[in-house]
Amino acid sequence: MASEAPTFAARWSATAAGRPHAPFLIWEGPDGEVTRWTYGEFDALVARVAGGLTARGVRPGDRVGIALRNCPAYVALWLALVRLGAAMVCHDPSAGVPELAAQLRRTGARLGFCAPSRAADYRAAARDSGMAVVEVGEDDTALAVLSGRPAAFGDAPPPGPYDLAGLMFTSGTTAAPKCVMVTQANYAFAGDVMAAAAGLGANDRQFVVLPMFHANAQYYSFAAAIAVGASVVLLPAFSASRFVARAARHQVTHVSLFAAPIRMILARTPPREPAPDLRVRHCWYAQNVTDEQYERFAALLGGCRPRQLYGMTETIPAVLSNPVAAPVPGSMGRPTPGCVVAVHDGEIVVGGEPGVSLFAGYLDDPTATAAAYRDGWFVTGDRARVDPDGHFHFAGRRGDVLKVAGENVSIVEIEAVLAEHPAVLEAAVVGVPDEMRDEVPVAFVVAVPGVDPAALDDLAEWCAARLAKAKRPVRFERVAELPRTSVGKIRKFLLTERTSP
């Protein structure tokens, strides 16, 4: 029953009490200096930050904005808000003033935290709402500016499973972002499921280079580590050229990435033998890479076979994941233990309990929340096929099927063909209106670094040899990079805008 679902606050408190001397957070700052906290030490810091929040008027049910890059302050604020029964509003710290202002209006945040370098923009965004803004350094490890009289876990009634703990904005790859409500029970469920799926144990170490304001770092890495008492290495930002060396330096065992960062690592890391002290034995990744890229990356990780998965902010854990033994690189995997997934009319749907195993809904938007469900199933908008072995294979977003002269054309198929071209690092395809054929595909391609530009001159011939006529792009746009969200997802609507007259 939902009332019996664990809370994330209780999960953190129990782990910190049960493993006070075990390592929790290892922070490598921008200058390379490393700071470490045990669970007990960080719990004491969380208590002081919770006291500081209380002194600033934060109460259960309040919403507090965090516009910080990866840093100790982010983790401490998040866990302190969880302890108090308040909710963090997760901002992309690089967002512009209009976007931040819109998010603050939608969430009603009463207090916000940002780095000094972003304070002017954040205050400008908060002007209309009157929200107070507090500056904290992203390299600050003492966090005196956030601290107050330590708040004990039992000082106030504990938060309940359905209490709001996070407000996260979707990636906005195809349309305006929605605001996803994440509960205390959601975070606890995500941690339990993802730790089990990854085979994560107390002696393992997560490597977090993706942004903290995104679901991946929160659900798959931090919540999972807290569920079993594992440790986390946190870096300020992703660095392709230093990824492997840092993974070896910190003896990490578990990694979570997207396809785009993997391609960046391969493009910027010279071919070589894996670092001798590399200990990576598990790697999650989302979105497809080519077979050649997969094998190269597995070799770079010392033979670790990366496991593709599939999830959304709304699904809480990754609801599809590859097995430990013999993962299938081109597949999103099978339903993750503890998750219910099916394909209805070619579309991935997810079963579960809102507020526990599925998101609690879209903030102040019951119409959008209701529209996200069909016959009790959450409808993802992603299409898939299931092979005879039960593996799910991505077949594009609901809008990733073009109607070219009445014929259904898969954008995903075209992109896969382009990605196999030896001079193409990555490609994205969008549909554009056509007077004769309704719509036609246009390709945007990024070349492999250092390749002769003329190597892309045969793309039309390459596609003609591999695709039916209706599937061949009518135009190839060469771009230095594809527009992306902070975690590497392609913002295709921006590409579509570029094709407009």
Please report the pLDDT score of residue 2 as a whole number: 44
The model carries a pTM of 0.85
Please report the pLDDT score of residue 487 as a whole number: 65
Q: What is the pLDDT of residues 389-437, one digit of tens each?
A: 999 999 877 777 787 876 778 888 899 899 999 999 999 999 998 877 7
Q: What is the pLDDT of residues 1-30, one digit of tens each?
A: 445 899 999 999 999 999 999 999 999 999
| H or E element in which residue 9 lies | helix 8-18
Proportion of the chain above pLDDT 90, given as a percent: 78
CB 61 within 8 A of CB 110: no
What DSSP letter does each residue of 50-82 carry, written as one string? HHHHHHTT--TT-EEEEE--SSHHHHHHHHHHH
Confidence of residue 139 (pLDDT cuts 50, 70, 90): very high
Q: What is the pLDDT of residues 81-105, one digit of tens each?
A: 999 999 999 998 988 898 899 999 9
Please report the pLDDT score of residue 1 as a whole number: 40
**Do β-strands 23-28 and 34-38 pair in parallel, antiparallel, or remain unpaired?**
antiparallel
Nearest to 168 by CA among 92, 72, 235: 92
In 3-state terms, the chain is what percent helix, strand and coil (to 5)?
30, 25, 40
Residue with tokens 């009603």: 108
Q: What is the pLDDT of residues 485-497, one digit of tens each?
A: 766 778 888 898 8
The CATH code of the domain at 8-386 is: 3.40.50.12780
The CATH code of the domain at 399-499 is: 3.30.300.30
Nearest to 445 by CA among 419, 469, 420, 468: 419
Q: Where are the domains of the chain?
A: 8-386, 399-499
